[in-house]
């Protein structure tokens, strides 16, 4: 099951990020997918702001940033990588076993390296803003997304949340 959320403006993205952020725990993985400029870093910035981290730059060129807060959080951007091997050489396996929260932009470039359980968020351009499609992969995230759809993201006049 997936849920779609209209992100008409930045406050809507902030609301989604602030809804997801308190659910995170050590070892969680979030795959952020979508075209250039679709809103992946923006979502991450709002999510990290929830943990008191306000200086978040895109890791497009640096590839990987780590933040220490209540949780250890790795933020990666795989846009510039071309082969799975490059990612493995950078210590992908260690990263996943680090008991940190791992947030990865452009994860869909490397479908062979997804972990077993993760939250996938696909961002799309929609009108002036964006639309996000949330999919739980693995039973834990499937349950979480199902609960989100029931409790955390109430319908606002019928145009905020829909079921896919």
Question: Can you give the binding site for ligand ATP, defined by CB under 6 A?
Answer: 7, 9-10, 12-13, 34, 36-42, 58, 60, 77, 105, 129-130
Q: Which two tokens stand for residue 125?
A: 């351009």
* Residue 27 vs 129, nearer CB to ligand ATP: 129
Q: How far is the CB of 139 from ligand ATP (least distance, A)?
A: 28
Least separation, in Å, of the C-beta of 159 and ligand ATP?
14
Q: Tell me the two tokens of residue 116.
A: 């077993």
The sign of the dihedral angle between the CA atoms of 153, 3, 60, 65 is: positive
Q: In the complex, what is the shortest distance from the CB of residue 43 to ligand ATP, in angstroms, rounded to a whole number? A: 7
d(C-alpha 64, C-alpha 66), whole Å: 7
132 binds, among Mg ion, ligand ATP, none (CB under 5 to 8 A by kind): none
Q: Applying CB under 5 A, which of residues 6, 13, 17, 40 lies at the interface with Mg ion?
A: 40
Q: Are 92 and 113 in contact (CB under 8 A)?
A: yes
Contact 20, 47 (CB under 8 A): yes
Which of residues 28 and 105 has its CB atom nearest to ligand ATP in the complex? 105
Nearer to ligand ATP, 10 or 90 (CB): 10
Which lies closer to ligand ATP via its Cβ, residue 55 or residue 94? 55
Which residues on neighbouring strands pair with residue 73, listed in sequence order?
A: 67, 101
> Is there a contact between 3 and 134 (Cβ–Cβ < 8 Å)?
yes
C-beta separation of 133 from 164 below 8 A: yes
Q: What is the SS3 assignment for 122?
A: strand
Residue 18 or 142 with smaller CB distance to ligand ATP: 18
Shortest distance (Å) from residue 45 CB to Mg ion:
10
Between CA 41 and CA 56 the distance in angstroms is 9
Q: To the nearest whole angstrom, how small is the minimum distance from the Cβ of residue 163 to Mg ion?
A: 28
122 binds Mg ion (CB under 5 A): no
């Amino acid at each position: 099951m997936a849920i779609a959320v209209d992100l008409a403006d930045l406050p809507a993205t902030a609301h989604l990020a602030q809804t997801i952020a308190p659910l995170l725990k050590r070892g969680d993985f979030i795959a952020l997918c979508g075209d250039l400029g679709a809103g992946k870093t923006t979502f991450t910035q709002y999510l990290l702001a929830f943990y008191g981290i306000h200086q978040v730059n895109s890791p497009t060129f640096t590839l990987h940033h780590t933040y220490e807060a209540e949780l250890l959080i790795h933020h990666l951007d795989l846009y510039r990588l071309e082969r799975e091997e490059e990612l493995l050489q950078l210590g992908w396996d260690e990263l996943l076993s680090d008991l940190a929260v791992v947030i990865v932009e452009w994860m869909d470039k490397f479908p062979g390296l997804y972990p077993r359980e993760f939250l996938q968020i696909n961002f799309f351009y929609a009108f002036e803003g964006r639309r996000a499609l949330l999919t739980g992969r693995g039973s834990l995230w499937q349950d979480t997304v199902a609960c989100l759809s029931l409790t955390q993201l109430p319908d606002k006049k019928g145009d905020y949340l829909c079921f896919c």
